[in-house]
Amino acid sequence: MDRNLLLSLVKKYESPLYVYDADKIESQYNRMVTAFSSVKNLKINYAVKALSNVNVLQLFKNLNAGLDTVSVQEVQLGLKAGYNPKDILFTPNGVSLEELEQAMKLGAQINIDNLSILEQFGQKYPKVPVCVRMNPHVMAGGNSKISVGHIDSKFGISIHQLPHIHRVVENTGMLITGVHMHTGSDIYDVDAFLRATEILFDAAATFKNLESIDFGSGFKVPYKEGDIQTDIEELGKKLSKRFNDFCKTFGRDLTLMFEPGKFLVSEAGQFLVNVNVVKQTTSTVFASIDSGLNHFIRPMFYDAYHHIENLSNPKGKKRFYTVVGYICETDTFGVNRQISEISEGDVLTIKNAGAYCFSMASNYNSRYRPAEVLVKGGKGYLIRQRETIEDLLRGQELVKI
């Protein structure tokens, strides 16, 4: 996005401020559609948890995407954004039967990730189509915090428990129409991912009423110059051929499904912050900003790298700064980063702020969550107002004890 546009937005809406580029989101979506264009039935379900603003959901609806949801509240957000319930897949982890029933009654498609709930659901609702989430026991990407397909993961039904799934189906007469896996985030080894797909293909072949195969997502995007990323075009070429061959063997055309979040919105987001103070210690120069882990926890939670630039002085002399927040915790955004010389009052931008940034924000230290702006065609639209003290107090009640 244009530097002057970003500076004008932060002047208008103040900082800290999340800004998303709608054109970039559309570009990433279309890139994925093109990569799998040889597949007859393709459905991309945007992972709501990555960025759940209803305006972003509406943007994906206009692109003909479905939604991947992990809570009944996300299902409700999808309905609020205008989605047909049949285009909403409910893929929670460890939720109660009651929450699955709530999502079912709202019309969402159900995906179940454990044998206990599968059996209970099948006994009560044998005619309701269900997808099952399997764990292929393949580490296809990222570190242990973001890889969910390994053998010790809480996610999914072990691929080794496939006979148990069929026993439940036989005993209840329930209808399994989809199989699903998700190996985790930051997949850069296409061949490792394809090995996991072979495991799911083998399992899929054992379900006679199958309508779809969902390979999850986790496709990696670059976080800095020269960074490794998933070659979506290579993956599209190889997996599309394998999928089409499977459909021929299976005897009918199935739907190929994905649930990308980060791939679609990460690069579209920037987080604009103001420098409160530049602090020189005996060994470090700190640039302390008007935000912290309450707004942007990924560097602290995942050790994630996010590139930082000085919008106010882009051509200034490079110096080393450790960028930190204003929360009473260790909330470090970057250590010894080379950034154009920073002065108090400068506006910095933190890149790749579209995925798992605002959606993981909190009111820790009783700080307000920031505003959000969506940019389309060079114009910014306020899609979430900055919080106020009334928002912090909403739901609280002073009582006499």
pLDDT score at 183: 76
Q: Is there a contact between 135 and 181 (Cβ–Cβ < 8 Å)? A: yes
Please give the C-alpha separations between residue 376 and each of 34, 82, 343, in angstroms, as whole numbers.
22, 20, 31
pLDDT score at 152: 63
pLDDT score at 138: 76
337-375 pLDDT per residue, tens: 999 999 999 999 999 999 999 999 999 999 999 999 999
Q: How far is 222 from 168, CA to CA, in rounded Å?
A: 43
Alpha-carbon torsion, ordered 186, 188, 192, 196, to 10 deg = 40
Active site residues: 328
* 210: confidence class by pLDDT, cuts 50, 70, 90: very high
Residue 19: strand pairing partners? 270, 373
Which helix or strand (DSSP H or E) is residue 219 part of?
A: none
Q: How far is 123 from 190, CA to CA, in rounded Å?
A: 39
Q: Which range among 140-154, 176-190, 266-280 shows the weakest confidence by mean pLDDT?
A: 140-154
Domains of the chain: 3-16+266-387 (2.40.37.10), 22-262 (3.20.20.10)
Tell me phi and psi for residue 322, to 5 degrees: -105, 115
18-51 pLDDT per residue, tens: 999 999 999 999 999 999 999 999 999 999 999 9
Reported pTM:
0.94
Percent of the chain at pLDDT > 70 equals 96
Joined tokens for residue 307: 């590139």
User: Does 192 score more than 70 pLDDT?
Assistant: yes
Q: Residue 112 — left, alpha, or beta (φ > 0 → left; ψ -120 to 50 → alpha)?
A: beta
Amino acid sitting at position 106: L
Q: Is there a contact between 306 and 353 (Cβ–Cβ < 8 Å)? A: yes
pLDDT score at 105: 98
Which residues are CB-contacts of 276 (< 8 A; sequence separation ≥ 6)?
288, 289, 290, 326, 344
pLDDT score at 151: 56
* 148: confidence class by pLDDT, cuts 50, 70, 90: very low
Residue environment code for 86-109, b if the CB has 16+ CB neighbours within 10 A, otherwise e: ebbbbbbbebeeebbbbbbeeebb
Percent of the chain at pLDDT > 90 equals 89
Mean pLDDT of 268-278: 98
Q: Which range among 86-90, 124-128, 149-153 shows the weakest confidence by mean pLDDT?
A: 149-153
**For the chain, what is the radius of gyration of the CA atoms?**
23
Q: How far is 197 from 52, CA to CA, in rounded Å?
A: 28
Selected residue with higher pLDDT from 215 and 192:
215
